[in-house]
A and B are shown apart, each in its own frame.
Chain A
Amino acid sequence: TQLLEQSPQFLSIQEGENLTVYCNSSSVFSSLQWYRQEPGEGPVLLVTVVTGGEVKKLKRLTFQFGDARKDSSLHITAAQPGDTGLYLCAGEGYGQNFVFGPGTRLSVLP
């Protein structure tokens, strides 16, 4: 069974700070996605990374896929209260086995 771990589990920071959250596995994934979920809503896709070593930027968010395609990181620059939410990584293994990590709950205080 392919599993994804995320760290930290909880993160509370002040507006304007930078942060990095991590998504790790011992398994290789053909692709990895990051989602953000706000209270009372479903997860919303932020990005998909496919190639080992790939870096994608979405405004103040930078996503990186590990060279071996087993891990990923999300870096947020100058966090804002609107970034508050549950950040989930999800990996697609081979054979369409799709798994979500447990999430990092981010709180950005004004």
Chain B
Amino acid sequence: DTAVSQTPKYLVTQMGNDKSIKCEQNLGHDTMYWYKQDSKKFLKIMFSYNNKELIINETVPNRFSPKSPDKAHLNLHINSLELGDSAVYFCASSQEGRGFYNEQFFGPGTRLTVL
């Protein structure tokens, strides 16, 4: 009964490859997010999706593309991986609406290593 789950937990790949990370939430939340946490533990928002619409798109390279097949899923696809993409990627979800403050529930993270 995990609230926010991500797969895989670890991903090791070569430079230039294309890879995807999957995220699912069973909380019934309206909004899902992708964050990147670098080696200094700085957590930076990459994307958020609300009702299958992109509402925040930070200045990330267009090699990164979020895909949301339905409200419970937000996958992250990365093309032409680069060394600098190595980081931990977190998926999160939150509920919008009156009385809610975008309190975020995070997944366990995917540690991506690009060789």
Contacts and interface: CB of A to CB of B under 8 A. Distances in A.
Nearest to B9: A40
A88 B45 CA distance: 14
Given A41-B108, A42-B108, A48 B45 contact: no
Interface string B78-106: 00000000000010100000000111111
Contacts of B109: 40-42
B92 A42 contact: yes
A42 B55 contact: no
B102 A92 contact: yes
Interface residues of B, number: 23
A105 interface: yes
A92 B101 contact: yes
Nearest to A32: B101
Interface string A87-104: 010101000111110110
A109 interface: no
B105 A45 contact: yes
Contact of A48 (B33, B43, B101): B101
A97 B56 CA distance: 8
A28 interface: no
Nearest to A30: B101
B98 to A, nearest CB: 12
A15 B38 CA distance: 29
B79 to A, nearest CB: 25
Given A42-B92, A99-B45, A102-B41, A31 B101 contact: yes
6 contacts: A42-B4, A42-B90, A43-B106, A45-B105, A50-B101, A96-B55
Given A40-B109, A42-B107, A103-B41, 17 more contacts: A35-B104, A37-B41, A41-B108, A42-B90, A42-B92, A42-B108, A43-B43, A43-B106, A44-B106, A45-B105, A48-B101, A48-B103, A96-B48, A98-B102, A100-B35, A102-B41, A102-B42
Interface of B: 4, 33, 35, 40-45, 48, 55-56, 90, 92, 101-109
